[in-house]
Structures are given as structure tokens and as C-alpha cells.
Structure 1
Amino acid sequence: MATTKLKKWAGRKLRYYKDKFLFKLKRYTIAILTSDKSDVSIALSYSFGTLIALLPTPGFSTAIGIGFITVFKQLNKMAVLLSMLVWNAITIIPIYWLSYKIGTRISNSLPDVEVQNETIRQILLFFKQFALGNLAMTIPISIGSYFLAIVLLRLARKMRLRSTGIRNQAIV
């Protein structure tokens, strides 16, 4: 009896958060598409948000993004927030895992840090592997997100113009 109630409660909570996530995603996307900023500015903002979200600052990336938004007024707020929403905790876990794997391969050619304490040496080795792999992953993904954002923005704006043109022809 208790497990069925718990399952129903968990199902309702999961649907609630899924609907909340989709609502925010739709709201940010519409705000970006109706923005008067150029496609390049929006794509740069999205790429910058991707860069911040992928850096190894779990839990602080949104705060860092909001800090950069307040300092740099030319960034599109909704594009940065959309990238933070896309690169959430669920999507970032495989990126971090792959970063560590790539960093392990890269750091094999680099010399180890000489430290007396074995624990500190292992921590530094892990950090070196993860940081190198994260940089090797973050930079190409951010550059790719710029070009993807440009293509999607132009496609979405073209489709929007086409649909408004059809509506205007139907009204006349």
C-alpha cells in the first residue's frame, strides 16, 4: 500500500519537474527567437553559456553565468540561460566522464608531479587528468554550439517568417 502511494507521488513529482523544465525551455526559446539581437550575438551568448556550463564548476556554473550576464550587458540573457538549462546535471555527467577518459590519455605523455604524500599525488594526478580532458572537450563543444546555434536560429527565423507570411496572405 505504501509503495503504491510512493510510486504515485514520485510519478506526480517527476511529471511536475518535466513540465517545469519543458516550460522554461519553451519560454527561453521563444524569448530568443523574438529577440531583436542579431543571430551572431545570440549564438555567441549561447556558446559562452555552454563554455561556462561545461567548465568543472558543478553547482556554481549558473551563478557564474548570471555574474557574467550582469557584467557584460551585450550578452543575450536568455541564450546564456538556455545553454545553462540544456547543459544540466543529467547531460553534463557523460561529458565529465568522457573528459576524464580523454584527460587520462593526454596526461600519460606528461610527467607526474613529485610529491611526498601518496594521497596528494593521486589527487593532483586525477585533477590534471580531468582538467586537461575537460579543456579538450569544452572548447570544441563550445565552438560547435556556436555554429549549431547559428544554423538553428536562421532556420527557426526562416520558418517563422514563412508561417507569418502564410497567415498574412490568408488574412488579406
Structure 2
Amino acid sequence: MVIKKFKRRFKEHFDEVLRTKRGLRSIAIGFAIGTFITILPTPGFNILLGLLIILIFPKVSKYALFTAFFVFNGIVKTPIYIGAIYFGKLILNDGFKIIWDGSILNTTMMLSKPFIIGILILDAIITVLSYHAAYHTVKIYRRRLKDKHEN
């Protein structure tokens, strides 16, 4: 029941993004910025950051920015965060073994540097990919819509 409601709301929101009169770049940049913001490990500040971006840059598509918040929810971000730790450890040549010695502070300190490095790099990569995905998705959608109206 909850999943159906979520899917319906997501589809409505996604359709709104595709139908907006904004240009392709505005939508793609909005989605990419939303992706970057939502993947950052700043719980609670993501929406405030998104609103601030919209106020500073009014040409950015607000619908696309907030659609990225729906796409990259907690379920999607969890594997990204775990991958960021391992990716950071790979970059730092720190090995893949995570040692739990019972001390939360020690474990947090041990994982924070690889996590920060990994999440910033993965976030940048995912942001670039999301820009291109949004750009081409809207382009294809608009082309199909145009072809449909011409026939």
C-alpha cells in the first residue's frame, strides 16, 4: 500500500518535471544539484540547502532538484554510503578490513576519512551521471511527445 502510494506520487512528480517549460539544461542541472545535495551526508540540511540553491539560482528547475531528493532516498543512499567507505579505503590503500574493537569513537575515527573521501568522489561521479541521465531522459520524452502531437 505504501509502495503504491510512493510510486504514484513519484510518477506524478516525475511527470511534472518532464512537462515543465524549463530548458533541458535547467532541468538536468537542477537534477544534478539535487543529486549532489541529497547524497551528501548532511541529514536535515538537504532540503534547506536545496531551497537556498533555488533562491540563489532561480533558473535551476526546482521540480528536478526535488525529484532527485525522491530518487536518492535512504534506501538508495545506504549502499552508496557503504560503497563510499570501501571506495575511500581503496583510494587510501587502507585495505578492506574493517576492525571493530568495541569502541564507537575509535571505529568512527577509523572510517570517517575513507568515508569522506569516498563519498565526495562517488557523489561527483553520480552527479555527472545524473546530469546526463536527466538531460537525455527529458530530451527523449519531449521528442516522443512532439512526434505524438505531429501524428
TM-score (norm 1): 0.75
Q: How many residues align?
A: 143
- Once residues 43 and 74 of structure 1 are traced to their aligned partners in structure 2, the CA distance between those partners, rounded to angstroms, is 11
Segments of 4+ in structure 1 off by > 6 A? none
Q: CA distance change for structure 1 residues 25 and 119 in 2, over 3 Å: closer, same or farther?
A: closer
In structure 1, C-alpha distance between the alignment counterparts of 2:23 and 2:138, rounded to whole Å: 10
Taking the aligned partners of 1:32 and 1:119, their CA distance within structure 2 comes to 43
Structure 1 residue identity aligned to 2:55: T
Q: Secondary structure at the match of 1:56?
A: coil
Deviation larger for 142-151 or 122-131: 122-131
Q: Which moves more between the two structures, 53-62 or 90-99?
A: 53-62
Post-superposition offset of 1:20: 2.5
**Identical pairs, percent:** 27
Higher relative contact order (CA 8 A, sep 6+): 2
Return the alpha-carbon distance in structure 2 between the equivalents of residues 123 and 163 of structure 1: 55
Matched, 1:67 2:52: yes
User: Cα offset for 1:21?
Assistant: 1.5
Unmatched runs of 5 consecutive residues or more in structure 2: 95-102
CA distance in structure 2 between the aligned counterparts of 1:20 and 1:78, rounded to whole angstroms: 19
What TM-score, normalized to structure 2?
Answer: 0.85
The unaligned stretches of length 5 or more in structure 1 are 1-14, 110-117, 167-172
